[in-house]
Structure 1
Amino acid sequence: MHRLQLWTRRLRLPGTTSQWRPPLLMIGKGLGAIAAAPTLILFVFSAFVFATFLSTLKNDDKWNFRAIHQANVSAIVAQNNPANETGVTSQNHQRSIQPPPILEFPLNCGSGGNKTNGTCPKSYYPATFGPKHDQLLGQLLEAGTCPDYFRWIHEDLRPWRDSGITRDMVERARRTAHFRLAIIDGRAYVKKYRKSIQSRDLFTIWGIMQLLRRYPGRVPDLELMFDSDDRPVVQWRDYRRANSTAPPPLFRYCGDRWTLDIVFPDWSFWGWAEINIRPWENLLKELKEGNDRTKWTDREPYAYWKGNPYVAETRKDLLKCNVSESHDWNARLFIQDWIKESQQGFQHSGLADQCTHRYKIYVEGYAWSVSEKYILACDSTALLVKPHYYDFFTRSLEPLHHYWPVRENDKCRSIKFAVEWGNTHKREAEAMGRAAAAFIQEQVKMEDVYDYMFHLLNEYSKLMRFVPKVPHGAVEICSEAMGCSASDGPHREFMMESLVKGPSTSGPCSLPPPFEPKAYASLWRKSISAIRRVERWENAYWDEFLKKNQ
């Protein structure tokens, strides 16, 4: 029987270096030819349909998508998958590594480079992918399970689990809110009630706009109130009785054990323009580079802190631990004068240049401080003065694993012992710093921040017992309305730097279930046990010290 081998040219997928080959077709005479004909026809038809899809994707002007071919994607695949296999990486919360085309929709600031007048174009980006893009692109990467601290979303929303959230509850949150946000059909509307500190509200809203660009059409309709001040205000004691009304749902940047405010990522992830702190995505890379410049053992063997002490008594108290002629508490403390630093062009406040000591101190300000993530990202051993507030990820930090606990009411002696212990247990102290830095670098990446925002808003919307609507007097907000009309300077610079270029090539990570009651109690007991262990070591150290010096 005569056989003819039919081959087609290799087909290269956009944005990848992988090549697909059709199966070898064996065509002969008689029944063999008849059997092979449908296979050949099916192959030709499939190739035609696929080529048509690629052409449509490339020329879809309505959505203004642009396929970006990135050769380095293959390098990333090779690094993470030496066996050249596809699938999910070893870390549970990381994404699958099969690379699809990357899509962009550039910021639409009008024709000819003219800035828009603070308005949103009618079709600035899609309200949804639509089936043809979702099925063929959106599902090429599978998202893994979210980091474990995402479980706290369930705890923060627990007060409304049974009652749901009514419009009356939302209205009661207006008392201290800075702005109201509504998302309707993928478009955002904001009504401002009062001015926030510096540009907190501006960059918080900007961050939410980037979430809508990252996951177009996936953020559900909702209405919420946001308070951008420091301290939480929804007191648990006011709603603890069985006949009490449900608390008002109020979003803010931190919480504590006595309040019910809903914790949301803070504005500085998109930049803090007033003190020249860059957006988180690039700053995180700089911090890692700063870590790599000096090995832990080669750093100054002291505890370092630099900041503004005048915002809280606990920081003023910390200054008493500075080195003096009569005492050396193993602390090196510096006052940050932001006015002077601004006048000098922020030459001495680079966060990536401050990982030069083996130990770094975190102490709260008026409430929680955004400095905590920067301190933890530096792989020096973090010494945390007993915190009273938490942000969205810090509740999963473990004492003696991610940080060393410091007493609030005896800071100086506590810091001195911590440094003495670390310098005599270098391996354990260095491992603590590395664990904290790895936690931040691997589980608080910008994509994790967006996924946390997405799941928090999604779970919040499920509790709503009313139909969201555009608030009276609200203004439509989008990235174009904010970024294109922003004046030149750090605000505009940070907006452009943190702009989400296009939709994510995967869906959000999978939200883990709530804590089981036993697991929740176990976390608390484990944390308390570690802190008390350190206190016993510390007491024994100072008892021995006093005996030697009597």
Structure 2
Amino acid sequence: MKSSLIPAAADEEEGFALVPPQPAVAGEDRAPAPCKVVVDDEAAPAVERQSSSASSACSSSAATKAWWWMALVSPTRGAVGLVIGGLLVLALLVGNAWIDLEPSFLPGNGRGSISRRGRHPPRRQRSLPLVPTPLNCGNDTSSTTAQCHRRVPPPSASASASPSPSPSPEQQPTAPPPPSCPDYFRHIHSDLEPWRVSGITREAVERAQPNAAFRLTVVSGRAYVETYHRAFQTRDVFTQWGIAQLLARYPGRVPDVDVMFNLEDMPELRAADYPDPSAAPPLFRYCKDGTSLEVLWPDWSFWGWSEVNIRPWAPLLEEVGSENARLPWPDREPYAFWKGNPGVSEARRDLFRCKNDSAAGKDWNARLFAQDWDAAIRNGFRDSNLAKQCRYRYKIYVQGRSWSVSEKYILACDSPMLAIDTTFKDFFSRGLVAGTHYWPIDPANKCRAVKFAVDWGNAHPERARRIGEEGSGFAREEMSMDYVYDYMLHVLTQYAALLRYKPTVPEKAVELSPESLACPAQGRDREFMMQSRERYVAGYEPCTLPPPFTAHKAREMASREEDVRRKIAKMQGR
């Protein structure tokens, strides 16, 4: 039975707005300029802030070290200096011993030393000259489109036969080697493992049709889509827009493929139904659990969720970074926050048992808000700017019907994510490490667990901030759109290698292109497409796909996760 808390159109996912209405600030809600998409990732304000913090911390540390070192060795201080220096060293050792009593699974309490993988190089180091991607909507002369009318003609045969002289080796820019992909890419291998030996036949692909919303076929670098049914809201539109951007970003690099896409919340292909896993039809979807066999794909909201006014991931990340800088973690409200649609799952309804009850004298340190759907729909979710959600020190993540797209927004806040354990995972959450990127919450004891996490974090602010910074660092760097596109490219490449037939265009398929989606789009759909458009061809190699996890490594990771939860339970006295 559907909950009366939600409209019928919202029973697929939370369609959430995570923050209470904010007072309007002049100039804050202006619409972005048409076609103004940030494509040069060298700015990275969040990383610069971390570097600045690190420099400040290092300077402070150096000053302290110089003071006690001079007290220790200066000949003008003699024995008094030695005594003072010795006492100070002893105090430092005692202090460090006390710090070591903290749970060993937590990251260190210093700031600015967070380990980060190599980022994709800035655009200016990638491809010179930059090659624009075309978008031409014909007779459309609106201001939004006019700025996007830049089509680069393909090279002619004569031009190919008579190339211009190549620059000398010393004139050619030296491209840095591509970074290794984040560890969560390794799950691509396990997602495709059922068909590793048998391969994938056309018959196997077509057996997935009853579970699919559309079929994607790529032949000779051009994409075609056969639609079976419309998806909830614009999931299909923005998923296909992301595919079109992948082909524009990496022209000629996407192999010939034939893929069925499911756009629903709940996994459907149960391993128990396929004693021989190779008999399962390959099906791409947004999430899975430990008992399902689907292949994971980034969800539509990375390119925007127009119905609830959530901007594409790249510009939203920049906005969140600015808000994080505006409101430092110590100045935030010292509670755990969640807001959304409680009607989509029992896990969310149960979370509201932890709501503050002043009359009963109960305060679980949680500030929970149910979305007022009617009001939000009436004002077009204008009071639901996710960048404004980072005003609490802790953020709660709780699953929707299965996973929830809210996880990435929660993770980006610099506030420790208190994640209520769930079996549902999307493509990137399989790379999150308990005790490093987030604080795990036992769903069977969630109210006390949330209260304890907040009390502990407020008593150990440096440790808590470190978890928040690790989580948001993961969101900004290991989940940047560079890596989202690389994940898409790698999973399609690995999938294509398993095909036992040459894909052909289905009879009812239509060609998919940026123009076929953007040109007829209007309003917020069009705006978000322009914000998430890949404006230039990638003039560099994608990240290097790491090998699959070994059995030993998988056991080691599972053991560590269990150890984190065991230590937290011990800290809570359970």
Query: How far apart are 1:330 and its partner, in Å?
Result: 0.7
Say if 1:190 and 1:139 are closer, same or farther in 2 by CA, change over 3 A: farther
Say if 1:130 and 1:105 are closer, same or farther in 2 by CA, change over 3 A: farther
Structure 2 letter corresponding to 1:389: F
Q: How does 1:151-550 map to 2 (within 5 A)?
A: 151-241=186-276, 246-324=279-357, 325-326=359-360, 327-486=362-521, 488-540=522-574
Q: How does 1:65-144 map to 2 (within 5 A)?
A: 92-96=117-121, 98=125, 100-110=128-138, 113=141, 140=175, 142-144=177-179
Task: Write out per-residue CA displacement over residues 182-214 of structure 1, whole angstroms, 9 at most, x where no aligned residue.
Answer: 001111110000111110011000000000000
Deviates more, 1:267-276 or 1:329-338: 329-338
Query: How far apart are 1:245 and its partner, in Å?
Result: 5.1
**Distance in 2, Cα, partners of 1:441 & 1:72:** 11
Asked if the contact 2:133–2:534 (Cα under 8 Å) also holds between the matched residues in 1, the reply is no
Asked if the contact 2:134–2:152 (Cα under 8 Å) also holds between the matched residues in 1, the reply is no
Say if 1:71 and 1:305 are closer, same or farther in 2 by CA, change over 3 A: closer
Asked if the contact 2:309–2:382 (Cα under 8 Å) also holds between the matched residues in 1, the reply is no
Asked if the contact 2:120–2:482 (Cα under 8 Å) also holds between the matched residues in 1, the reply is no
State the TM-score, normalizing by the size of structure 1. 0.77
Q: Which runs of 5+ in 1 are unaligned?
A: 1-69, 80-89, 116-120, 541-550
Structure 1 letter corresponding to 2:135: L
Query: How far apart are 1:91 and its partner, in Å?
Result: 5.5
Query: How far apart are 1:139 and its partner, in Å?
Result: 8.2
Higher RCO (Cα < 8 Å, 6 or more apart): 2
Asked if the contact 1:126–1:217 (Cα under 8 Å) also holds between the matched residues in 2, the reply is no
Local SS of the residue matching 1:231: coil
Asked if the contact 1:141–1:506 (Cα under 8 Å) also holds between the matched residues in 2, the reply is no
**Distance in 2, Cα, partners of 1:192 & 1:220:** 21
Aligned to 1:23: none
Structure 2 letter corresponding to 1:309: P
Query: How far apart are 1:74 and its partner, in Å?
Result: 12
Local SS of the residue matching 1:163: coil
**Distance in 2, Cα, partners of 1:74 & 1:317:** 42
The RMSD of aligned alpha carbons is 2.9
**Distance in 2, Cα, partners of 1:432 & 1:112:** 49
Structure 1 letter corresponding to 2:187: W
Local SS of the residue matching 2:334: strand
Task: Write out per-residue CA displacement over residues 49-93 of structure 1, whole angstroms, 9 at most, x where no aligned residue.
Answer: xxxxxxxxxxxxxxxxxxxxx9997999xx9xxxxxxxxxx9644
Say if 1:175 and 1:522 are closer, same or farther in 2 by CA, change over 3 A: same
**Distance in 2, Cα, partners of 1:449 & 1:526:** 27
Whichever of the two has the greater Rg, that structure is 1
Say if 1:238 and 1:480 are closer, same or farther in 2 by CA, change over 3 A: same
Local SS of the residue matching 1:341: helix
Say if 1:366 and 1:496 are closer, same or farther in 2 by CA, change over 3 A: same
Q: Which runs of 5+ in 2 are unaligned?
A: 1-38, 49-114, 144-148
Asked if the contact 1:93–1:509 (Cα under 8 Å) also holds between the matched residues in 2, the reply is no
Asked if the contact 2:342–2:348 (Cα under 8 Å) also holds between the matched residues in 1, the reply is yes
Identity of aligned residues (%): 47
Structure 1 letter corresponding to 2:229: R
Aligned to 2:96: none
Query: How far apart are 1:519 and its partner, in Å?
Result: 1.0
Local SS of the residue matching 2:137: coil
Asked if the contact 1:105–1:501 (Cα under 8 Å) also holds between the matched residues in 2, the reply is yes
Asked if the contact 1:166–1:466 (Cα under 8 Å) also holds between the matched residues in 2, the reply is yes
Query: How far apart are 1:240 and its partner, in Å?
Result: 2.9
Structure 1 letter corresponding to 2:452: F
Task: Write out per-residue CA displacement over residues 124-158 of structure 1, whole angstroms, 9 at most, x where no aligned residue.
Answer: 8759998969x989984542211121111111111
Task: Write out per-residue CA displacement over residues 463-485 of structure 1, whole angstroms, 9 at most, x where no aligned residue.
Answer: 00011000121111100111112
Deviates more, 1:450-459 or 1:295-304: 295-304
Structure 1 letter corresponding to 2:198: S
Structure 2 letter corresponding to 1:101: P
Task: Write out per-residue CA displacement over residues 339-369 of structure 1, whole angstroms, 9 at most, x where no aligned residue.
Answer: 3113124232111111111110000010100
Asked if the contact 1:380–1:433 (Cα under 8 Å) also holds between the matched residues in 2, the reply is yes
**Distance in 2, Cα, partners of 1:72 & 1:192:** 35
The total of aligned residue pairs comes to: 451
Say if 1:75 and 1:211 are closer, same or farther in 2 by CA, change over 3 A: closer
Asked if the contact 1:341–1:348 (Cα under 8 Å) also holds between the matched residues in 2, the reply is yes
Local SS of the residue matching 2:496: helix
**Distance in 2, Cα, partners of 1:112 & 1:354:** 37
Say if 1:124 and 1:95 are closer, same or farther in 2 by CA, change over 3 A: closer
Task: Write out per-residue CA displacement over residues 279-323 of structure 1, whole angstroms, 9 at most, x where no aligned residue.
Answer: 111001111111111121111111100100011111011111111
Aligned to 1:150: 185
**Distance in 2, Cα, partners of 1:74 & 1:198:** 34
Asked if the contact 1:93–1:146 (Cα under 8 Å) also holds between the matched residues in 2, the reply is no
**Distance in 2, Cα, partners of 1:393 & 1:126:** 36
Asked if the contact 2:195–2:278 (Cα under 8 Å) also holds between the matched residues in 1, the reply is no
Say if 1:72 and 1:509 are closer, same or farther in 2 by CA, change over 3 A: closer
Query: How far apart are 1:225 and its partner, in Å?
Result: 0.2
State the TM-score, normalizing by the size of structure 2. 0.74
**Distance in 1, Cα, partners of 2:308 & 2:235:** 12
Task: Write out per-residue CA displacement over residues 254-280 of structure 1, whole angstroms, 9 at most, x where no aligned residue.
Answer: 011000111100000000000000011
Say if 1:138 and 1:265 are closer, same or farther in 2 by CA, change over 3 A: farther
Query: How far apart are 1:383 and its partner, in Å?
Result: 0.3
Structure 1 letter corresponding to 2:564: A
Asked if the contact 1:239–1:247 (Cα under 8 Å) also holds between the matched residues in 2, the reply is yes
